[in-house]
Structure 1
Amino acid sequence: MPAAEQVLERNVYVCDRIEFHVRPSTFPLAIRMWPHGEALPEKARRPGPDLGIRVATCQAFGISRRYGWTLALTRDDLACPLTTVAFGFEEAPAYYLQGCCCAGMYTETAEAGARTESMVARWATDQYQAIVVAPLRRAEFEPDVVLVFGTPGQVLRLVTAALWKRGGYLTSRFSGRLDCSDEVIHTMQTQECQVVLPCYGDRIFGHAEDHEMAFTIPAARIDEVLEGLEGTYRGGVRYPIPVFLRYTPTFPPAYQKLAEFFQKK
């Protein structure tokens, strides 16, 4: 079997297992940071040349998880200046590093904003050629990260799966902004699963909904999480949540009065 077919078969299998156990309402995503010198996937759409627009990264992820499209984002396809810095497509200027993009919006002062910016996960300048995202089921490349959006209950399933082998707690971090950095860069740099709170921009441009959270799985932990999904399923941790329904309900007084007529027969 050709390597590309093996990769696709593997991705379909992983997607099947996630969809069976988690049942997300949008497509689980495969994301890869594309290296220089490697041709972009033939089936990938470029927002600039193919769609006539430039996009935010969260917007591209929203397109992929809702439309089922494969997208390749180079510097020329990106509209979000924060993404261009975080993903290394442009060098961070002093204006950014000094917290000016945070000040007055997310932080009271530029000093506080600089502290926030210093903690944003970033790639080195010009480290990668592009961000490529595709529905996991259709991805013909090996993902660096698998990204799943879902309800808190669905994300809970993934959290318990991630802890099946290791136990303990899953540690994540939140700032309310630049969730694309958390989803991709922080996940790859730490090689740990992450619970991600969709940021303000993702809600505006990516159309992340109020009931949604996200969960990321680095490539190195995919098999471990799949094993955890199966193990916790056998243990009774499932989705939809098997709520307790075997009880006799209590009704309003007027209903109880009606029931008395039947008891007298």
Structure 2
Amino acid sequence: MNDKYTRREAIKLGMGTAALGVAGSAISAAATPQDEVSEFNQYGEKLERLLLLRTSPIAVKMLEKESDIPKGAVRPKKDRKYHLAQCQAFGMSRREGTTVAMLKEDNWCPTSVIAYGLEKKPESLAKWVHPYDCFEYGKYIGIVSAPLKSAAFIPDVVIAYLLPGQLRALLLTLRTQDVPQISGHYFPPSCGYSVVDPMKTGKYYVVLPDPGEYQRALTSEEEMIFSIPRSRMPGLMAGLRESGPGAFSYRNNYMAMLPDFERPQFYIDLFKSWGLE
């Protein structure tokens, strides 16, 4: 079977989604770091345009040493004499276009400090918070975030804040064999599950924003978080381009509650096989 069919083409041909096999493109192994940065910048622009995003997808990278901090990044305590929660730093990156480097001393919420391994998780924590995974203590000194379309670094993970319709449109461009690689979590902390788990597992993550996102970072009640590990971005973007302005496109979608609506051919074929109109 041709392994180049997109989901839209498969539906038109009546094959159904199980027959899909779009090969995701990969960044060339010969690409220079700057080539990769430019590639990810283009991904950011395309995601905003194709999904009509309200805010920019953000590039997120864990920092192992201070020299990893991009030039021009804002360090809240050092540069602005204040502290932030990690969700607020993400909010600044996606809304204001700011590159924000958060080291331990910049934080005002303990969750990300623990989740990112900047401090050890206290044993007492298990008595009053939902369990969550953490990076190894001491592996990283902090985290940096920036708009994907302008980030000067290659991200470990890309995080997008999406409306349900935008999330659905993006998920439906994935290859069917990638569906098991989508996981989700719906309890706090979203700053942990959107970064730690995708990096550790290599899976896509759908995450429900936690209360802090709403109370302190101005995340809207309609938004969901979708996290994409670096290695999966080329394939995701290839699928998004292949899907084009079809039935699952967010840009070209419309709503109309009509009886006897126009159906895809495979609907017609199935009903015919059942002896129905």
**What range is the shorter-chain TM-score in?**
0.7 to 0.9
Tell me if the contact between 1:58 and 1:206 (Cα under 8 Å) persists in the aligned partners: yes
Q: How far is 1:206 from its partner?
A: 1.2
Overall identity of the aligned pairs, in % = 28
Query: SS in structure 2 opposite 1:166?
Result: helix
| Number of aligned residues | 229
2:80 aligns with 51
2:93 aligns with 64
Q: How far is 1:22 from its partner?
A: 1.2
Q: How far is 1:3 from its partner?
A: 4.9
Query: SS in structure 2 opposite 1:44?
Result: coil
Q: Which whole-Å CA distance do the structure 2 matches of 1:56 and 1:163 have between them?
A: 36
Tell me if the contact between 1:158 and 1:215 (Cα under 8 Å) persists in the aligned partners: no
Tell me if the contact between 2:40 and 2:149 (Cα under 8 Å) persists in the aligned partners: yes
2:108 aligns with 79
Q: How does 1:170-209 map to 2 (within 5 A)?
A: 170-175=182-187, 177-209=188-220
1:220 aligns with 231
Q: Which whole-Å CA distance do the structure 2 matches of 1:122 and 1:46 have between them?
A: 23
Deviates more, 1:31-40 or 1:210-219: 31-40
Q: How far is 1:125 from its partner?
A: 0.9
1:144 aligns with 156
Consecutive unaligned residues of structure 2, counting only runs of 5 or more, are 1-30, 260-277
Q: How does 1:1-265 map to 2 (within 5 A)?
A: 3=32, 5-36=34-65, 38-96=67-125, 98-100=126-128, 102=129, 116-117=130-131, 120-163=132-175, 166-167=178-179, 170-175=182-187, 177-233=188-244, 235-245=246-256
Query: SS in structure 1 opposite 2:127?
Result: coil
Tell me if the contact between 1:85 and 1:92 (Cα under 8 Å) persists in the aligned partners: yes
Tell me if the contact between 1:163 and 1:170 (Cα under 8 Å) persists in the aligned partners: no
Q: Which whole-Å CA distance do the structure 2 matches of 1:89 and 1:244 have between them?
A: 47
Q: Which whole-Å CA distance do the structure 1 matches of 2:66 and 2:99 have between them?
A: 20
AA aligned to 1:52 is K
AA aligned to 1:223 is P
Tell me if the contact between 1:8 and 1:140 (Cα under 8 Å) persists in the aligned partners: yes
Tell me if the contact between 1:162 and 1:193 (Cα under 8 Å) persists in the aligned partners: no
AA aligned to 1:181 is G
2:17 aligns with none
AA aligned to 2:123 is A
Query: SS in structure 2 opposite 1:242?
Result: coil
AA aligned to 2:71 is E
AA aligned to 1:134 is A
Query: SS in structure 2 opposite 1:146?
Result: strand
Q: How far is 1:167 from its partner?
A: 4.8
Q: Which whole-Å CA distance do the structure 1 matches of 2:170 and 2:46 have between them?
A: 11
Q: How far is 1:12 from its partner?
A: 2.0
AA aligned to 1:99 is K
Q: How far is 1:21 from its partner?
A: 2.0
Q: Which whole-Å CA distance do the structure 1 matches of 2:162 and 2:255 have between them?
A: 22
Report Cα offsets for 1:84-103 as digits up to 9, x if no partner.
1111111112221x323x3x
Which structure: larger Rg?
1
Query: SS in structure 1 opposite 2:227?
Result: strand
Q: Which whole-Å CA distance do the structure 2 matches of 1:144 and 1:227 have between them?
A: 19
- Specify whether residues 242 and 125 from structure 1 end up closer, same or farther in structure 2 by C-alpha distance, changes over 3 A only: same
Q: How far is 1:170 from its partner?
A: 3.2
Query: SS in structure 2 opposite 1:82?
Result: helix
Q: Which whole-Å CA distance do the structure 2 matches of 1:26 and 1:7 have between them?
A: 22
Q: CA RMSD in A?
A: 2.2
TM-score by length of structure 2 reads 0.76
Tell me if the contact between 1:4 and 1:140 (Cα under 8 Å) persists in the aligned partners: no
